[in-house]
Amino acid sequence: MRPEGSRYRRLVRARKPLWLLSGALASLAGYVALAVLAAHQQFFAIDYGTRTWIRILREEMPYLPMTLVTELGGPLGLMLLIAVGIAVLLWRRQRRWAIALPALMAGAGALQAVAKWTIGRARPDESPWGFPSGHVLSLVVFFGLMVWLVATASRRRRRWRALASALCLLTVAVVAFSRVYLDRHWLSDVAGGLTIGLAYLLLAIWLIEVVTVDRRIIPPGD
């Protein structure tokens, strides 16, 4: 008889594909709904309401910090995140993800380019390629992966894992807010980046951890 721990791990691996794919499909469905409305220039009332509120808030908050924060989702910020992620966080304990991370982020960049070109929605300041938010899409992929690895692969105490996950989510939220605050995106652009980024991330995790890894761990017919 196999140990209970081994049985539990096999049960988790058996259920992993279902909820990863279900989450990816649900996120993709949310993105498609937003994209259809955006493609037909159906700007939401919440977009205009949020923009009005931000204009009032901007008078009370300093402008400079937001311009700095938002750069975390730009090209230079992402390159720094990838370098730190590989060198500090992944190489020793999650080498397969350290190798996969550059390709994963390059794929996120290609995905946002295709999505922006397909929808062709203007930004609030009338500049092109607003939907979805590329900053949010990229950071959802990067920090979402960090949250996944902290939650499933880290051996740290639960309190530490919860704190690390919360910091990752907070970073994404602050950068997403900065995009709306700086009038670079509508709120629905940010939602579009969130949904398509999450769909892409969950599918990537499924491909790497279920298709490639779990099939090597579980022998056929086990």
Domain count of the fold of the chain: 1
Quick one: tokens of 202? 């969950």
Amino acid residing at 178: S
- Is residue 3 domain-resident? no
Q: Report, in angstroms and rounded to the nearest whole number, the Rg of the chain calculated over CA atoms.
A: 19
- Is residue 210 domain-resident? yes
Query: Of 181, 170, 146, whose CA–CA distance to 68 is shortest?
Result: 181
Q: Are 205 and 20 in contact (CB under 8 A)?
A: yes
pLDDT at residue 154 in the model: 67
Q: Are 50 and 180 in contact (CB under 8 A)?
A: yes
State the residue range of the domain holding 90.
Answer: 13-217
CA-to-CA distance for 198 and 27, rounded, in angstroms?
6
- Is residue 160 domain-resident? yes
pLDDT at residue 1 in the model: 39
Q: What is the pTM of this model?
A: 0.85
- Is residue 44 domain-resident? yes
**Could you tell me the CATH number of the domain that includes residue 110?**
1.20.144
Write out the H or E segment, with its range, that includes residue 186: none
Decide: helix, strand or coil at residue 110.
Answer: helix
pLDDT mean across residues, the chain: 84
pLDDT at residue 79 in the model: 94
Decide: helix, strand or coil at residue 92.
Answer: coil
- Is residue 119 domain-resident? yes
In the block, which residue shows the tokens 């992993």? 16
- Is residue 200 domain-resident? yes
pLDDT tens-digit readout, 23-77: 999 999 999 999 998 887 766 788 888 898 888 888 777 666 888 899 999 999 9
Query: Of 46, 24, 23, whose CA–CA distance to 189 is shortest?
Result: 46
DSSP H helical ranges for 40-154: 45-58, 64-69, 75-84, 95-119, 134-152
